[in-house]
Structure 1
Amino acid sequence: MIEKITIRNIATYDTKGVEIKDLKKINFIYGANGCGKTTITKLIDDPEHADFKDSSLSWKNGLSIKALVYNKDFRERNFGKGKIDGVFTLGQATKEEKEAIEKMKEQLDELKKNGIAKKEAKEKQEQVNNQYVDSFKEQIWSEVYKKYETDFKDAFSGYMRKDAFKAKLIEEYKTNTTITISYLDLKGKAQTIFGQTPILIDLIQLPVLDRIIQIENDSIWKKKILGKTDVDIASLIQSLNMNDWVNEGQTYLQSNKNTCPFCQQETISDDFRKQLEKYFDKAFIEDTNTVKALFDEYSNLSEFALNLLTQIETSQKAISNSKLNIDLFSASTKTLISLMSENVAHFQSKIKEPSRVIIITSIEQQTEILSTLVLNTNKQIDSHNKIVNDLSNQRSNLIKEIWKFLVEDHKASIEAFLKKSNGLTEGIKKLNEQQEEFRKKYIELNKAISEANKNVTSVQPSVDEINRILKSYGFLNFEIVPLETDPNQYQIRRDDGTIAESTLSEGEMTFITFLYFLQLSKGSFDESSITEDRILIIDDPISSLDSTVLYVVSSLLKEVIKNIKKREGNIHQLILLTHNVYFHKEVSFVDGRTPINGDTFFWILRRNRNITSVQSFEMENPIKNSYELLWKELRNREQNDSITVQNTMRRIIEHYYKILGEYTDDALVSRFDTVEEQEICRSLISWINDGSHVIPDDLYIEHQDTVAEKYFEVFKAVFDKTGHIEHYNMMMQVETTISTVV
């Protein structure tokens, strides 16, 4: 049966719309003409119509069944053509045939019950599985996506929703065979590949320092460069350790003078010159020349190396994604320069004092540090350049490597999830197979019932039943008869044989169409489907009937209601909509002992400013009698328009004072003490009467406007001034307190 009706964006239903939910087996919806009752019936009759694209019906267990709708469209569709389609029933079936069909119906109900049970079990299992999946999805989102979003966001592109991310992780677990790489390596590659579009980086060319190291390691620096020992002056020079002093001084000897550069005496003889030349022989000169040459070469090479190292440092600092450890390179370069500067100073002292032995600190160790640093850097540059040259493949491979890392890092959680989820899914699959088996059996049995119905159905019982009810209630001048040319269709004929359809009164036509609808509710236009389950939707079946026929229709519907409550027959739900208070009271009354019933719910539809709203009263019937209803509408005046409030106030005063209390307008006015109060009361009565007949008296339920509040206090004062405030408080359900004076 229908559990909820949602209707919006049509007729008097606005964008917000209305929801009629928690529908029961029996549902009474009361509402004035024009408040949207028929629109509801049209939705149920044809929910797929384009007009109802924003509306919907919710069925119990998601299973829809046939809905028979009685409204103006039904009357126009089935009457007015001169002939009426026949309604097939089981009226002519034998007892055995009916029992056989009934037994199959019971089996069909059991299959349906079992199918629904399997469906509910499956849905419960699906709910458990969905909750488990959602829990795992939230866990993965928090522990994986959020943790690595900053580093690997590009790899997550296309999977930045929880469902998609979870599905991707499971897929990678099943298919990814890439070798696992560490997080730090992945992060480094990601910075290159996922950052700005990378460009090629030149390899670092470290200056060749091998020759500098060779110069530093030359044995000349540890050699004492002395003159020839077999010269006469050698012993004196060497004993006084004046080798370097004399060597330097001889450079000041002038070839054409005999003045000593040391004592400035004329002591330099040709012999002395010859002895000095012999002492500082060719070997001495070669060694000192070697020292000078090595010094010059070292100075030039170190200056070149210094410039190149400075260029490397400057250029690498300008590269945003440099692979070089700038800090370590700068520190090593400074140490290297410092060492070379010290060595240059030592070399200079050797030139000045050739006999001096100097200790050189080699730059070899620093060179190795720089070489290793540059070598490793160039490896990274080479890897970077390979990525740049093959960016598309590198990006694809990196994404696979990242997902593989994530899978391995959370492998235990994934495997635990799959184990439990697969078990739940397998259970759901088995329940679905069992449900499908019941469904197939249901279809087969339903087909067998249809075939059995075809053999035992007839339209004549419907004809006989309609005519019986017509005659029982005084409709004697016409009846339903089968067509001579087609016994499966009806005509409405008078006693003289003329067709009566066009001459029937509106009340007669309404009554006969409703009887026809009731027969259809028990049967079908198709003999194969007369026993199928159905629900009834009835819209104002008594709009033009007198009180006697109103009672008949009420009685017929109460029988339908009793059968639905007792679960007898194939009608499972009734939704009845009406604007008539008396019919509503009559048809909803069962007995005085059961004023409420869990199978029966009540609603009131109202329209305010051309917008429909609904109020649920659940098991409490809001329609008791017309006078009580007037006060009820006044209590709900904020939901009614000013016209309804006008009419309601007039009718209360008219009923209570003029009929019961025999008060005239002047008598009511005279109850007020001051002229001002009397004028207000007279204004109220005039205002009420002015607006009292703009709508029919049957329209008890409408909407309100704020203008009513201007006169409501005066309305209350009428009861207060006439000594009937207790009646006002009772009808308005005003709580009063009694104080005791001690």
Structure 2
Amino acid sequence: MKEGQPMISSIHIDNAATYSNITIEPKQINFVYGGNGTGKTTLSRVISGTSSGSYHIEWENGTNLETLVFNGEFIEKNFSERISGIFTLGEDDDKTARRIEELGKDIDDLGNEITTKSKSVTGQREKQKEAFQQFAEACWIQRKTFSRFSEILKGTLKGKDTFAKSCLAKAAEVAADGSPQIEDLFDEYARVYSNNLQKQERIELSELNEIAVPEACNLLTEPITGSGNTPIGAFIDYLQNSNWVKQGVELYPLAKGRCPYCQRTLPAGLETEIEAYFDDRYEESVGAIRSYQATYASFRDRVIQSIEAIEESVPNEYDVNEVDAAAEALNHVLDVNLSAIKQKLVDPSSKVEMSDETEALTAVKAAFGRIDKQIAANNELCDNISSTRSDLSRRVWGLILHNLSSAQKAYSRSAGGCEKAINSIQAIITNKEDEKRKKQAEKAHLETTRTSITPTVDAINSLLERFGFTGFSLSEDKQSKGMYRIVRPDGADARRTLSEGEYNFISFLYFYHLVYGSLETDGIDTPRVVVIDDPISSLDSNVMFIITSLAKEIVKDCRDGKHGIKQVFILTHNVYFHKEVTFLGSRSKWPETKCAYWIISKADERTAISHHADNPISTSYELLWDEIRDIGDAPNKNAFNTMRRILEYYFSVIGGIDYEECIDMFDGADKITCKALVSCINEGSHMISDDFVIVFTPEAMKSYRRVFKEIFYKLGQRAHYEMMMEENTSLPMQA
């Protein structure tokens, strides 16, 4: 059998009849032995697909074949009142027959080539899968690295294969880009896919901008003093202690005419002179300073309140530390300026400098401006969220593909090479399939135009007549075209009056010709699996050998790959049929690669099937032959009795042949020797006749052995003799 040829590769019976969870892996030729009721018919029904149980059949290369099964169901189905005709080629059209056979062989060869090429495709696919798995492993590492980008990778994280396929799909859309940093991308991802993402109010600085900085007060940089036109005034200016004097004036009403400091009586008119010193101009200047102090303090409060209000409006996610720092710096400047004004009021004659608060105020506005810019960007993001996310996705995938560039190139080289090989092989397969279809069409046409159901009728009737079945025959049905009937010599229907043995015999002959034919006008050589289940049940022993020969012919054609027979199962409970049908030739055996032996047994209502590489069936009959082979021509009293027992066993028990007919086939001394062997059978297994003397000399034993062999040859049982003696050479036929 050619490798990969379609046939049953595995049979699993989970639950059918007495089978439970049994699996066998049959070979091309299968011999199955088992007693009645062990489960042989259930196995044949499983193969035919008619079993009601739970089972599964695996076919080599996934190609299901036609199954032809001979069992009780076949007989019941096919032998109704009208029997379907079997189309075969007419014998007068040898040229067409040879062409059909040639086409059948070509179709098989093309099928095998297609199978081989398909396996090559499968091999390339496996290489692609291996390369893809390596690529998938590399992708999975990146998947773990980028797992934080769950929304972008959504739908691709179901498994390694899914993610790898997504990477390949993205490679056709997105360019690899290694420039982005993954942390930067994730920061952007956190913003773009934030649950809190929404448009926000922009920062409004108009109120703060409307607060005008008070104009500078020139009095702060000029000393404020009283009138120096009086002697006391001149004296105060000289001492530059107007502040000290002013404080004293405030205490003067409490002094009661005495100096507040030395307690001496004050000169008359001193108070008037001092009051004249602090004239209206002085008071106006000091009043102007106090007014400026109030204005600046109000300015400071409005600025601080405005800053605090603006900062309160800033969304929580924005960092206001920069604003706080700038506001603190501004507050410091304003406080310093207020302190300077206060100092001026304490000492109007002093000069104070104000710090410029504009720069600090600008810094606060700038800090708010930067936050507002972020808010503007956020709002723009909200307005363009779809395109922004798409762009981010592109950059994330670009970085992933950049990281996978080496792995992807390696996969592309390997997978691309495999795909190129696959395309090339597929092209060959397509051509072969086209060629196969053309040959199948030609073959079908030839079979349709050149086939007939008549040759099958003639062949079956010839075998029936040859084996003495003259009371019935197979006939073409004149009323139903393409059908047969079983009839008596007078044309009457004989189907209902046949004995069980006759019925089974003609049924098997019909099945045998169906194996080599078809119920249709074409399909004669359609590939098929043949199953023969106990074909010799209820058959007379005189037809067992023709059944055996026909079964062996089917097995032989299966072995040689002829007539579309791809696989054979022979099931029997008869040990002698089993031995005959399994015999290949002396000193020859079926190769283990093609043939399997199976034993079916049943215990506790559970069927078991055991596989054997060699034929496990051995009988006491075989042991008798073993003894003959071992003794050879040596004078041995047991040898004669062993030969007699073999003849008795074979011709009386197995063959059903009148052994005494063979005596007249011999002449002279050989006839006497034959009579000596056969007469012992006639006298019984345990009796010895007094009519002849048995001599056990070497010459006599050679004569007994030679005549023993010729008995089988003359009765047409040479094949059986050579099978049992395990030899091909012949002894001389004449002493």
2:224 aligns to what SS in structure 1?
Answer: coil
1:151 aligns to what SS in structure 2?
Answer: coil
Give the TM-score taking structure 1 as reference length.
Answer: 0.70
**Partner in structure 2 of residue 58 of structure 1:** 58
The answer to whether the 8 Å contact 2:221/2:353 transfers is no
**Partner in structure 1 of residue 669 of structure 2:** none
The answer to whether the 8 Å contact 1:258/1:269 transfers is no
Q: For 1:335-378, what per-residue CA distance to the aligned partner results, in whole angstroms no more than 9, with x for missing partners?
A: 66566556655554444334555566667676666545543433
Distance 1:568 1:11, change over 3 A: closer
Q: Cα distance, 1:480 vs. partner?
A: 1.9
Distance 1:228 1:90, change over 3 A: same
**Partner in structure 1 of residue 293 of structure 2:** 292
2:376, 2:384 → 1: CA distance? Answer: 12
- Count of aligned pairs between the two proteins: 611
1:507, 1:408 → 2: CA distance? Answer: 82
1:206, 1:262 → 2: CA distance? Answer: 56
The answer on 1:4 being equivalent to 2:9 is yes
2:225 aligns to what SS in structure 1?
Answer: coil
The answer to whether the 8 Å contact 2:88/2:452 transfers is yes
Letter in 2 for 1:480: L
Distance 1:337 1:599, change over 3 A: farther
The answer on 1:384 being equivalent to 2:371 is no
Distance 1:606 1:220, change over 3 A: farther
Q: Cα distance, 1:169 vs. partner?
A: 2.9
Q: Cα distance, 1:391 vs. partner?
A: 5.7
The answer to whether the 8 Å contact 1:207/1:308 transfers is no
Q: Cα distance, 1:521 vs. partner?
A: 0.8
Distance 1:142 1:177, change over 3 A: closer
1:134 aligns to what SS in structure 2?
Answer: helix
Structure 1 segment 710-725 matched on structure 2, within 5 A: none
2:249, 2:439 → 1: CA distance? Answer: 136
Q: Select which of 447, 452, 470 maps to 2:441.
A: 447
Letter in 2 for 1:280: Y
The answer to whether the 8 Å contact 2:304/2:331 transfers is no
1:491 aligns to what SS in structure 2?
Answer: strand
1:370, 1:113 → 2: CA distance? Answer: 88
Letter in 2 for 1:68: L
1:250, 1:474 → 2: CA distance? Answer: 169
1:527 aligns to what SS in structure 2?
Answer: coil
Q: Cα distance, 1:525 vs. partner?
A: 1.4
Letter in 2 for 1:439: E
Q: Cα distance, 1:497 vs. partner?
A: 3.2
The answer to whether the 8 Å contact 1:27/1:601 transfers is yes
1:609, 1:221 → 2: CA distance? Answer: 127
Distance 1:376 1:273, change over 3 A: closer
Between stretches 502-511 and 96-105, larger displacement belongs to 96-105
Letter in 1 for 2:147: E
Q: Cα distance, 1:308 vs. partner?
A: 3.7
Q: Select which of 269, 272, 277 maps to 2:271.
A: 269
Distance 1:160 1:393, change over 3 A: farther
**Partner in structure 1 of residue 225 of structure 2:** 227
2:148 aligns to what SS in structure 1?
Answer: helix
Between stretches 469-478 and 325-334, larger displacement belongs to 325-334
Letter in 1 for 2:500: E
Letter in 1 for 2:169: E
Letter in 2 for 1:11: A
The answer to whether the 8 Å contact 1:220/1:291 transfers is no
**Partner in structure 2 of residue 151 of structure 1:** 149
The answer to whether the 8 Å contact 1:12/1:610 transfers is no
The answer to whether the 8 Å contact 1:540/1:577 transfers is yes
**Partner in structure 2 of residue 111 of structure 1:** 110
Q: Select which of 580, 587, 591 maps to 1:593.
A: 587
The answer to whether the 8 Å contact 1:596/1:619 transfers is no
Letter in 1 for 2:24: I
**Partner in structure 1 of residue 675 of structure 2:** none
The answer to whether the 8 Å contact 2:66/2:529 transfers is yes
2:571, 2:149 → 1: CA distance? Answer: 64
Q: Select which of 462, 482, 492 maps to 2:486.
A: 492
Q: Cα distance, 1:12 vs. partner?
A: 4.1
Distance 1:12 1:329, change over 3 A: farther
Q: Select which of 572, 588, 597 maps to 1:602.
A: 597
Q: Cα distance, 1:84 vs. partner?
A: 1.4
- Percent identical among aligned pairs is 25
Q: Cα distance, 1:25 vs. partner?
A: 1.0
1:175 aligns to what SS in structure 2?
Answer: coil
1:604, 1:390 → 2: CA distance? Answer: 78
1:340, 1:621 → 2: CA distance? Answer: 116
Distance 1:350 1:580, change over 3 A: farther
The answer to whether the 8 Å contact 2:225/2:349 transfers is no
**Partner in structure 2 of residue 121 of structure 1:** 120
2:463, 2:38 → 1: CA distance? Answer: 33
Distance 1:306 1:460, change over 3 A: closer
Q: For 1:389-432, what per-residue CA distance to the aligned partner results, in whole angstroms no more than 9, with x for missing partners?
A: 66667656655554455445545644554454344323322321
Structure 1 segment 592-741 matched on structure 2, within 5 A: 593-595=587-589, 597=591, 598-604=593-599, 614-615=609-610, 617=611, 619-624=613-618
Q: For 1:103-135, what per-residue CA distance to the aligned partner results, in whole angstroms no more than 9, with x for missing partners?
A: 333333333233223222222222212222232
The answer to whether the 8 Å contact 2:156/2:166 transfers is no
**Partner in structure 1 of residue 463 of structure 2:** 469
Structure 1 segment 52-91 matched on structure 2, within 5 A: 55-79=55-79, 81-91=80-90
**Partner in structure 1 of residue 130 of structure 2:** 131
1:529 aligns to what SS in structure 2?
Answer: coil
2:532, 2:504 → 1: CA distance? Answer: 13
Q: For 1:145-198, what per-residue CA distance to the aligned partner results, in whole angstroms no more than 9, with x for missing partners?
A: 222122234542366343433333333332358999764454344334544364
Letter in 1 for 2:154: F
Letter in 2 for 1:537: V
1:383, 1:33 → 2: CA distance? Answer: 90
Distance 1:200 1:550, change over 3 A: farther
Letter in 1 for 2:225: G
Q: Cα distance, 1:530 vs. partner?
A: 1.0
Between stretches 503-512 and 54-63, larger displacement belongs to 54-63
1:203, 1:274 → 2: CA distance? Answer: 60
Q: Flag the structure with larger Rg.
A: 2
Q: Select which of 19, 23, 37 maps to 1:19.
A: 23
2:348, 2:621 → 1: CA distance? Answer: 137
Q: Select which of 499, 505, 513 maps to 2:507.
A: 513
The answer to whether the 8 Å contact 1:84/1:490 transfers is yes
Q: Select which of 141, 154, 158 maps to 1:160.
A: 158
1:595, 1:35 → 2: CA distance? Answer: 27
**Partner in structure 1 of residue 244 of structure 2:** 245
Letter in 1 for 2:119: E
Q: Select which of 31, 44, 48 maps to 1:45.
A: 48
1:92 aligns to what SS in structure 2?
Answer: coil
Letter in 2 for 1:119: S
1:269, 1:580 → 2: CA distance? Answer: 160
Q: For 1:212-243, what per-residue CA distance to the aligned partner results, in whole angstroms no more than 9, with x for missing partners?
A: 9946x957697243326855556644554424
The answer to whether the 8 Å contact 2:228/2:237 transfers is no
The answer to whether the 8 Å contact 1:302/1:340 transfers is no
Unpaired runs of at least 5, structure 2: 1-5, 623-735
The answer on 1:504 being equivalent to 2:503 is no
**Partner in structure 2 of residue 529 of structure 1:** 523
Unpaired runs of at least 5, structure 1: 629-742
The answer to whether the 8 Å contact 2:226/2:278 transfers is no
Q: Cα distance, 1:514 vs. partner?
A: 1.7
The answer on 1:425 being equivalent to 2:416 is no
The answer to whether the 8 Å contact 2:226/2:242 transfers is no
The answer to whether the 8 Å contact 2:14/2:22 transfers is no
**Partner in structure 1 of residue 173 of structure 2:** 175
Letter in 1 for 2:23: E
Letter in 2 for 1:506: E
The answer to whether the 8 Å contact 2:38/2:600 transfers is yes
Q: For 1:662-686, what per-residue CA distance to the aligned partner results, in whole angstroms no more than 9, with x for missing partners?
A: xxxxxxxxxxxxxxxxxxxxxxxxx
1:370, 1:606 → 2: CA distance? Answer: 100
Between stretches 204-213 and 29-38, larger displacement belongs to 204-213
Q: What is the aligned-residue RMSD (CA, Å)?
A: 4.2
The answer to whether the 8 Å contact 2:90/2:451 transfers is yes
The answer to whether the 8 Å contact 1:2/1:60 transfers is yes
Distance 1:276 1:330, change over 3 A: closer
